[in-house]
A and B are shown apart, each in its own frame.
Chain A
Amino acid sequence: MKALQRSFARIFNFAARRRSDRRLREEMQEHLAMQAEENMRAGMTPAEARRQAILKLGALEPIRESYRAEQGIPLAETVLQDIRYALRMLRKSPAFTLVVVVTLALGIGANAAIFTLINALMLRNLPVADPQMLVRLGNSNDCCVGQGTPDNGEFSLFTTGTYEFLRKNTPDFEELAAIQAGWSYRPVVVRRDASQDTPRSVMGEFVSGNYFRMFGMNAAKGRLLTDRDDVAGAPLTAVMSDETWRSHFNRDPAIVGSIFRVNTKPVTIVGIAPRGFYGDRLMVSPPEFYLPIETMPALANVTYVHDPDEQWLYMIGRLRPGVSRAQVQQKVSALFRQQLATTPRYSTKERLDALNRAHIVLTPGGAGVQAMQEYFNTRVNMLMIASGLVLLIACANIANLLLVRGMARKAEMNVRTALGARRGRIIRQLLTESLMLAAAGGLAGLVVAYAGARMLLALAFPGAEHVPIDARPSPLILGFACGLSLLTGMLFGVAPAWIASRAEPVEALRGNTRFVSGGTTLLQRTLVVLQAALSLVLLVGAGIFAQSLSKLQHIDLKLDPVNRYIVHINPQTAGYAQHQVVDLYRTIEDRFRALPAVDKVGIASYTPMEDDNNGWGVAVQGRPDSHLNASYLKANPDYFDSVGTRLIAGRNIEPRDTASSQPVAVVNQNFVRAFFKPGENPLGQHFGNGSRRAGDFEIVGVVEDTAYQSATWKDHRMYFVPLPQHPFGTNYSIDKDENMYANAIVVKTSRPVPDMEELARHTLADINPNLAVQHFQTFTAQIADQFTEERLLSRLTMLFGVLALLLASLGLYGVTAYGVARRTSEIGIRMALGAQRGGVTTMVIRGAMIQSLLGLAIGIPAAVATAHYASSLVYEIKGASATVLTSSVLALALATLVAALIPARRAASIEPARALRTE
């Protein structure tokens, strides 16, 4: 009780900063006065009386100490005192403080930024109920519509038939849902019915009716999809994403229940998906609408929904509690083979082997379909290593700076010890200082981390409308950054503190500058050498990525992007049936040609250097089926000129190639190389999809190998077919042929037309208001997009390399400058004895250079090893080239020179007389 009362009083005093030092002083004065009077009455002289009184009262300082200790909370007070003192000391050396804080901020910031990204990309689960109970059927990102058997027999892409069969026969799943695999390649055009809004081309995902139930979600408003929505002939329904509801319709409650035109068909919006739900996979542009699979034929006019052989679905299921994944995997694979055996494709004898190999690997589905994750995995790891190295260099720097500072303050510590400071107290003081620095660095690091993560996202997904990745550091990252900075502070605060605290008071009283000479310690130099080595590794890495990027960008793509504009459309979404599109294409050609400065109007299925491809098997008439694929592209007569592909032999696609004329094809040189012997004339030969249809197309021309999809696709075989031709007989009627829909218009102009986008929109809207532009880009921008990732990697590694070099130089500068300061008197003596200023400069620079050279000796083998590792991530570069190594070494040498020059000049400007006087 008493103790409690006392603690309250202490805390109160501490908090209120109540200082009754004055009261003590006054009381003691009174005490002295009374004692002196007493003494005088006893017969002493006034002076003697006062002296005796003071003696009797005792030593003042200890009394005051214990009085204060009694008054407040001594520990808290000394900590506060330490902090105040530390702040004062840090303020007194702003350069040191700034360098340490900036170093830490960059080191911690870079790491936290990368960590934020990893956390968002790799570690995060979907925002759904119990994500750990979800499994995905399949382990690859095969996309989007096709009929193949994966080489290893591991299926990830399924037919509607497989889905329905598995759903019915696996009670181990609480729910098993199916998801359109390639929705991101197939935007829908949406417009609110009876509104003046222009139709928007947006992401829409077709899913099974139990999709939301499988995820365990509730609607933000209205209801979500149910099985009743997902039956053939059901009223057309859709669920809107919360993001779209918010950003485009201002959370208008009337949206629920209203009609939207999706690809011109009326669809009722039955509800809004929960807030924060971004679909079943991390994508740059998440779906804005979720639509039932069974409504896809009506809305998107596709034939594969009920085709027994066309695989186009992913599956994710929610396991029942207590069911093991391994068991289910066995069972699902067996059922899968059972179902496949009933399909036309796998019931033939020649595919028996493929059927037996077929199985499904179950993977954790909590993070959904991990397309982006797989894509970024190796890159993110590499960036993490790079940023880890930067942190290492930063730590070495901090260690060095703190060491230097600790040494420089040895005299101060000596004096403090001589005045009675205990070792623990001194260590605590120095530790407080380093922790303050670490805290400041950590705080600044968070700012850097936030900005860095934002920058990374912007670099990684340029022009993305809504990336569902948050750049804000989570509590986990906050902890990571704080822990890291504290650890650094502790680690590198303790060593100098320990060294400093071993101060001998006697040394303080001696002029110790001359006796403790010898410049820098081995530890310091080791740290500098390490930094130099690490920064070399990073520089070489950066060099390799830069070289790879430049090599990629200098690949001859065999096209001409100048003054070309690419307009992506999808006539299907505007309500055109296949037999109507030929007229539409003619209208598009005419209207665009009428625009000012337009030379050529190409129309094609897709264009060079975009992420689209359509591969078909090829068999040449009169030869055995090669089982090789080639990309199939439909184009109009202007197309080759519009993208800048040159004709090598034969003729171009021409207006005379109509639906009723002889079906023809123009092939590329790789096609000729793959299917014909050298010297053989391909013109006049026939080929088709499979030996039964080998007579479908006659080759009339050969064009050069323009790069499609990726600059690095080697031996890309392609054939180009006139837009109106559909030579596939009655089995495959024109209205089932998806390839009749061209997705791209390429406009070639005679001069730059800055408002081409507006012109294109108007021209298309004039033809049909529902002809929305899916995507508009200049050809140059489209090509640049294909190098985004390489550019990002190159920029980031360069950033890390430069950062490392900067930090290493700072470290080198710090150590050299410190060495010079320590050797002031030695240098003074040398100069007094006749050393030349030039000689002194050389001596200092040589010292720094030796450390850099040692760094190189360690760094070069390490860099070569790193280069070997990095080679797997870059384009056609094997290890570090001489150019990269030489320029990295030169960069390091230059940085060393600059870092050493400043202290060297200071050394050379030492006045011998003054240096000797400092004793």
Chain B
Amino acid sequence: MKQKTDVMQGTLALMVLKTLDVLGPLHGYGIARRIEQISGDLLSVNQGTLYPVLLRLEQEGSVESDWGASENNRRARYYKLTRAGKRDLQAEVQDWNQTAEIIARFLAAKAEDPS
């Protein structure tokens, strides 16, 4: 059985960026929920691993964070995509699509289909 964390290392950052792009400023729990909803059980355990990733993104300047109040008036730290983050996201999405396309084509290729 493969460890889920292996996959996550590469993809979690991209998922976070995309989530923030789609939903706007959001706290850690919200991001985790969103990723869980969309990716199924990828983040159903070990949700905490999200936080080091968020810290890294923040140190890279892709996101910024600040304390704010949540829907039910709790104090929570909100993460927001920066302009640099938006650019990063675009670049990474492009990269990802390209890679996915190549892999997909590769996997779809049959023996008698040389081109």
Taking Cβ atoms with an 8 Å cutoff, the residues of A that contact B are 2, 5-6, 9-10, 20, 23-24, 26-28, 30-31, 33-35, 37-38, 55-60, 63, 66-67, 69-71
Q: Which residues of A contact B72 (CB under 8 A)?
A: 37
B98: interface (CB < 8 Å): no
| Contact, CB under 8 Å: B47 / A67 | no
Q: Which residues of B contact A23 (CB under 8 A)?
A: 77
* Distance of B41 from chain A, by nearest CB (Å): 11
* Distance of A64 from chain B, by nearest CB (Å): 9
Q: Which residues of B contact A35 (CB under 8 A)?
A: 29, 47
B18: interface (CB < 8 Å): no
Q: Which residues of B contact A27 (CB under 8 A)?
A: 27-28, 51, 76-77
B10: interface (CB < 8 Å): no
Query: What are 7 A-B interface contacts by the 8 Å CB criterion?
Result: A6-B60, A27-B76, A35-B47, A37-B72, A56-B47, A63-B49, A66-B52
Q: Known contacts being A10-B59, A55-B45, A58-B46, is A70 close to B70, with CB within 8 Å?
A: no
Q: Known contacts being A30-B29, A30-B76, A35-B29, is A58 close to B47, with CB within 8 Å?
A: yes
- A69 vs B56: C-alpha distance when bound (angstroms): 10
Q: Which residues of A contact B70 (CB under 8 A)?
A: 30, 34
Q: Which residues of B contact A57 (CB under 8 A)?
A: 46-48
Q: Which residues of A contact B15 (CB under 8 A)?
A: none
The A-contacting residues of B in range 55-94, CB under 8 angstroms, are 55-56, 59-61, 70, 72, 74-77, 88
CB within 8 A of B32: which of A31, A66, A71? A31
Taking Cβ atoms with an 8 Å cutoff, the residues of B that contact A are 27-29, 32-33, 44-49, 51-52, 55-56, 59-61, 70, 72, 74-77, 88
Q: Which residues of B contact A33 (CB under 8 A)?
A: 74
Q: Known contacts being A9-B59, A10-B59, A30-B28, is A24 close to B45, with CB within 8 Å?
A: no
CB within 8 A of B60: which of A2, A55, A59? A2
| Contact, CB under 8 Å: A66 / B28 | no
- A28 vs B47: C-alpha distance when bound (angstroms): 10
Report the 4 A-B pairs with minimum CB-CB distance, sorted nearest first.
A58-B46, A9-B59, A63-B48, A34-B29
- A63 vs B72: C-alpha distance when bound (angstroms): 27
- A26 vs B74: C-alpha distance when bound (angstroms): 12
- A70 vs B52: C-alpha distance when bound (angstroms): 7
**Chain B interface helix/strand/loop/mixed:** helix
- A35 vs B76: C-alpha distance when bound (angstroms): 13
| Contact, CB under 8 Å: A34 / B74 | yes
With both beta carbons as reference points, the residue of chain B lying nearest to A68 in the complex is identified as B52
**Chain A interface helix/strand/loop/mixed:** helix
Q: Which residues of B contact A30 (CB under 8 A)?
A: 27-29, 70, 74-77
- A67 vs B46: C-alpha distance when bound (angstroms): 14
Q: Which residues of A contact B27 (CB under 8 A)?
A: 27, 30, 34
| Contact, CB under 8 Å: B75 / A56 | no
* Distance of A36 from chain B, by nearest CB (Å): 11
Q: Which residues of B contact A71 (CB under 8 A)?
A: 55, 59
CB within 8 A of A56: which of B44, B60, B61? B44
Q: Which residues of B contact A2 (CB under 8 A)?
A: 60-61, 88
- A33 vs B27: C-alpha distance when bound (angstroms): 13
Q: Which residues of A contact B33 (CB under 8 A)?
A: 38
CB within 8 A of B51: which of A5, A24, A59? A24
B45, B56, B70, B88: which has the most chain A beta carbons within 10 Å? B56
Q: Known contacts being A5-B61, A33-B74, A71-B55, is A58 close to B29, with CB within 8 Å?
A: no
- A66 vs B72: C-alpha distance when bound (angstroms): 30
- A59 vs B5: C-alpha distance when bound (angstroms): 13
Q: Which residues of A contact B47 (CB under 8 A)?
A: 31, 35, 56-58
Q: Which residues of B contact A69 (CB under 8 A)?
A: 52
- Contacts beyond the supplied A5-B61, A30-B76, A58-B49: 12 A-B pairs with Cβ under 8 Å: A24-B51, A26-B75, A27-B76, A30-B28, A30-B29, A30-B77, A33-B74, A34-B29, A56-B44, A59-B46, A66-B49, A71-B59
A6, A24, A27, A60: which has the most chain B beta carbons within 10 Å? A27
* Distance of B35 from chain A, by nearest CB (Å): 13
| Contact, CB under 8 Å: B28 / A58 | no
* Distance of A37 from chain B, by nearest CB (Å): 7
With both beta carbons as reference points, the residue of chain B lying nearest to A9 in the complex is identified as B59
Q: Which residues of B contact A20 (CB under 8 A)?
A: 55
| Contact, CB under 8 Å: B59 / A31 | no
Q: Which residues of B contact A10 (CB under 8 A)?
A: 59
| Contact, CB under 8 Å: B51 / A67 | yes
- A244 vs B77: C-alpha distance when bound (angstroms): 76
- A70 vs B29: C-alpha distance when bound (angstroms): 20
CB within 8 A of B48: which of A28, A37, A38? A28
* Distance of B37 from chain A, by nearest CB (Å): 12
Q: Which residues of B contact A34 (CB under 8 A)?
A: 27, 29, 70, 74, 76
CB within 8 A of B45: which of A28, A31, A37, A56? A56
- A9 vs B55: C-alpha distance when bound (angstroms): 11
B29, B60, B61: which has the most chain A beta carbons within 10 Å? B29
With both beta carbons as reference points, the residue of chain A lying nearest to B88 in the complex is identified as A2
| Contact, CB under 8 Å: A63 / B28 | no
* Distance of A859 from chain B, by nearest CB (Å): 62
Q: Which residues of B contact A38 (CB under 8 A)?
A: 33
